[in-house]
Amino acid sequence: MINVVLVNPEIPNNTGNIVRTCAATGAVLHVIEPCGFSWEDKYLKRSGLDYWEISDVRRYPDMHAFLAANFGDKAADTGDVPTDLKVTKTNTGTQFLYASTKSKRTHCEVNYQRDCYVFFGRETKGLPEDILHANYDDCVRIPMRANARSLNLANSVAIIVYEYLRQHDFAGLKEDGKLTQYED
């Protein structure tokens, strides 16, 4: 399954909506703190609705804790986050992708591997450029008009998660729906 990694999200409503998307699709949500909100925020809880119970949300105090928890000794702690991300990708064989408006490659040009990790930056700044620079070949963007700065973070996560799912034939998701007021 796809792993969504939010790096320092700032807006509780976005994170709550992302929790809901991840819960509905089976994606794992990793949140790297600090965040721009409290985890007790009413907007965070409200936008996640009752999906909190079926979601897999994992929180980390920083990037190094995220790497250690998910990749153990394969994530050498050199103190340099971009290097750590590159080393982890190389050591584990895990696909790491970085969502950014600054990428030359679109999100549809990628073959998403099972259990890949897609990193998303904060709403106001995106991912740090040193991370993008160190991993530029693995950056992806969602196409949009030239005069638009960016899409909403929750929408961006949903677009990329569903592209991943499309490429994997929507494995594990309900295949059909039915009307609730009429019988077939």
Amino acid 76: pLDDT: 56
> How high is the mean pLDDT of the chain?
88
Question: Given the DSSP bridges, would you call strands 28-32 and 3-7 parallel, antiparallel or unpaired?
Answer: parallel
For domain 3-167, give the fold. Alpha/beta knot (3.40.1280)
Please determine, for residue 8, whether its predicted confidence score (pLDDT) is greater than 60. yes
Residues contacting 111, CB < 8 A, separation 6+: 167
Which among 47, 5, 15, 11 is positioned nearest to 124, based on CA atoms? 11
pLDDT in tens, 124-165: 999 999 999 999 999 999 999 999 989 999 999 999 999 999
* pTM, two decimal places: 0.90
More confident residue, 102 or 47: 102
Give the domain ranges of the chain.
3-167
User: Kind and range of the H or E element at 21?
Assistant: helix 12-25
